Amino acid sequence: MKILVQISVVFGICFLGEGLARILPLPGSVISMILLLILLLSRAVKPEHIREKSDFLLKNMAFFFVPAGVAIMDTFDVLARNLLPFLAVCFISTLVTFAATVFTVRGILWLQRLIHAKSHPSSGKGAVSRV
Amino acid sequence: MSEWLSSPLFGITLSILAYVFGVWINKKLRSPLANPLLIAIILVILFLKLTRIPLSSYQVGGDFIGMFLAPATACLAVSIYNQFALLKKNLLPILAGSAVGSAASMGSVWFLCRIFRLDDQFTASLLPKSVTTPIAMGVAEQLGGLTSITVAAVVITGILGAMLAPLLLKLFRVKDPVAAGLAIGACSHAMGTAKALEIGEVEGAMSSIAIGVCGLITVVFAMFIH
């Protein structure tokens, strides 16, 4: 019974999200995610209301993509024709993304430390960096 | 025979068996190359090819599994919610890092696709490849890409990210756990996050925050491209 209620909460939010996707230029699943986050933050939905259901979905997330991946059978020639560029794009853009994120975060943390040190000279540096 | 095989139970059972086998192999080998999703996809394709069962029969059950994608994506909100205190504390580095990371990912993919002369449909399928699969699929669909190619690109990117993460951290001399976690999550979503969790708790939490934030930022960028 408990699990049935949890399924209805999650599915209900997703159904609402799909309805909103007809008006908003966002994927329905993303709208549902934002809706659920708002409901959680406003405490309209408590994590324990959907715990078992969300644990089940999150822990087995990868499984739900099996059919989407198998569908590549139909477009396999498109991928095979472009296999090398495909792998090169995946590899190079992974490096670029990693480097861009690291340098941005490092720069911001450095700036925050600098500003913090200026406004609180006594507390010294490094106060912001540790979590 | 074909009527019997187009029961949804066939596709569902085959998918679960293939995935469970993939998880088992992954536990045995403990290598990011032995990705359960990748193993399951290859096994199902091999099975269908060998038995000459048409993809459409498998998809009857496959569509049923696919129905759970939206609820699974929505539940990413629960993991963002669980990390909310950490998110508030490092709001600026997270937002800036995720925005620049997502822009770098989409920009470099677009640029490389132009260099390799890939067509628009293929480019649209690859553009969202650094974000988590459900969001990437939604974005690719919106941009007119082929979602099955997107899934392949997301999985390959995730495997690369998880494999390369320790090496990249050394290469760029990343010592700050916030920067390390965000970078891993920004370039290789959930598969990278699994690796980040092995490196440290803050790294793992930051990486899982990056999955959600980069996903949302990529959706916003895609809206402008669209």
- Maximum separation of any 2 CA atoms in chain B, in Å: 60
User: CA A126, CA A40: separation in Å to the nearest integer?
Assistant: 33
Residue A67 contacts B, CB cutoff 8 Å: yes
Q: What is the DSSP string of A88-117?
A: HHHHHHHHHHHHHHHHHHHHHHHHHHHHHH
- The average confidence (pLDDT) of chain B is 89
Q: State which H helix or E strand residue A13 sits in.
A: helix A2-20
Minimum CA–CA partner of A29 in chain B: B70
Query: Is there a contact between B219 and A18 if contact means CB atoms under 8 Å apart?
Result: no
A119 min Cα distance to partner chain B (Å): 18
**A-B Cβ pairs (cutoff 8 Å, strict):** 301
Q: Which of B104, B139, B152 is closest, CB to CB, to A69?
A: B152
**Residue A28 clears pLDDT 90, i.e. is over it:** no
Tell me which chain B residue has its CA closest to the CA of residue A25: B223
Q: Are B43 and B202 in contact (CB under 8 A)?
A: no
Whether A33 and B73 lie within 8 Å, measured CB to CB: yes
- Chain A nearest-CA distance from B27, in A, is 15
pTM: 0.79
What confidence tens digit (pLDDT) does each residue in B65-74 have?
A: 988 888 988 8
Predicted confidence (pLDDT) at residue A30 exceeds the cutoff of 90: no
Rounded to an integer, the average pLDDT of B97-112 is 95
pLDDT at A127 over 70: no
pLDDT the model gives residue A131:
47
**Other C-beta atoms within 10 Å of B15: how many?**
24
Show Cβ contacts of residue B35 under 8 Å, excluding neighbours closer than 6 positions. B22, B26, B155, B158, B159, B191
Instruction: Specify the pLDDT at position A122.
Output: 59
Per-residue pLDDT at B4: 87
Of B41, B152, B164, the CB nearest to A79: B152
Q: Does A78 touch chain B (CB under 8 A)?
A: yes
Whether residue B134 lies within 8 A of chain A, CB to CB, comes out as yes
Tokens of A40: 């959680």
- Write down the residue that tokens 């392949």 correspond to: B152
Q: What is the pLDDT of residues B123-165, one digit of tens each?
A: 999 999 988 888 898 899 889 999 889 988 998 888 888 888 8
Among the listed residues B128, B203, B97, B172, the one whose alpha carbon sits nearest the alpha carbon of residue A107: B97
CB contact under 8 A, B59 and A106: no
- The answer, for B63 touching chain A at a CB cutoff of 8 Å, is yes
Flag if A61 and B84 touch (Cβ within 8 Å).
Answer: no
Each residue of B18-48: pLDDT tens digit?
999 999 998 999 877 788 888 999 999 999 9
At A123, is the pLDDT very low, low, confident or very high (cuts 50, 70, 90)?
A: low
Token digits of residue A90 = 């995946």
Nearest to B129 by CA among B98, B114, B113, B150: B150
B166/chain A closest Cα distance in angstroms: 12
Category of A41 on φ-ψ map: left (φ > 0), alpha (ψ -120 to 50) or beta: alpha
How far is residue B120's CA from residue A53's CA, in Å, rounded to a whole number? 38
Burial A77-108, CB ≥16 within 10 A → b, else e: ebbeebeebbeebbeebbbbbbbbbbbbbbeb
Above 0.85 for ipTM, yes or no?
no
User: What angle is formed at CA B19 by the lines to CA B164 and CA B214, rounded to 5 degrees?
Assistant: 45
